[in-house]
Structure 1
């Protein structure tokens, strides 16, 4: 019998309430790439949290919106160590092709790196 390592994002690492999102968006520390925008707010805890905004207006199909969110969540999960003490909200700015999933992932990682270096 093999054991499979569970690679999930802990519940404490997700922004879920509107007030939490609002606080990060009001802070106005923003990093942008071609298709993504990252809002960041320093917090007093020893872990990082993320919230995702993928509007129906930007990406019509739910399958694509969910795929984009999964890719960004995975990038965050793998790089959250360098984002300790930050609340992050990632927003999709423009529609993207699903074939560009590696580009979405790379842009998310680039924005996380940029935020970690500057804060």
Structure 2
């Protein structure tokens, strides 16, 4: 049970962590999300989430999407390589159902894992 927790060490917390990813990222793109990844020197993946109010207006929708992203990542973290990930929400992400968001993220995790492991 402990290995599926979403602990502090699995999150990007400081602005410098986000900058590290944005500076030289490998992208995986869908119409509703962009997932940026960069190999880290740790022995586990980490995630950061950015959902702009300009793109997703309602706070409850932003919170729902963040919760789903964290949950999806938590389930996949064991299979992902050692990368820092930033998930960026786009306009229209709030129109997706929970199942659609999980499906999109699953494809993006696979795409990003393939691209980052080839570097």
TM-score by length of 1: 0.88
Higher mean displacement: 63-72 or 28-37: 28-37
Q: Equivalences for 1:1-119 in 2 at 5 Å?
A: 8-97=5-94, 100-118=97-115, 119=117
Specify every segment of 5 or more residues in structure 2 that has no aligned partner in the other structure, as ranges.
Answer: none
Distance 2:50 2:14 in 1: 13
- The structural deviation recorded for 1:28 is 2.6
User: What is the total number of aligned residue pairs between the two structures?
Assistant: 115
Higher mean displacement: 69-78 or 98-107: 98-107
1:40–1:87 contact (8 Å) kept in structure 2: yes
Distance 2:99 2:48 in 1: 20
Specify every segment of 5 or more residues in structure 1 that has no aligned partner in the other structure, as ranges.
Answer: none
In the superposition, relative to structure 1, how do residues 32 and 65 fare at CA in structure 2: closer, same or farther (>3 Å)?
same
Larger Rg: 1
Distance 2:12 2:80 in 1: 14
Distance 2:112 2:96 in 1: 26
Give the CA RMSD over aligned residues: 1.6
Distance 2:79 2:111 in 1: 10
1:64–1:98 contact (8 Å) kept in structure 2: no
TM-score by length of 2: 0.88
2:56–2:94 contact (8 Å) kept in structure 1: no
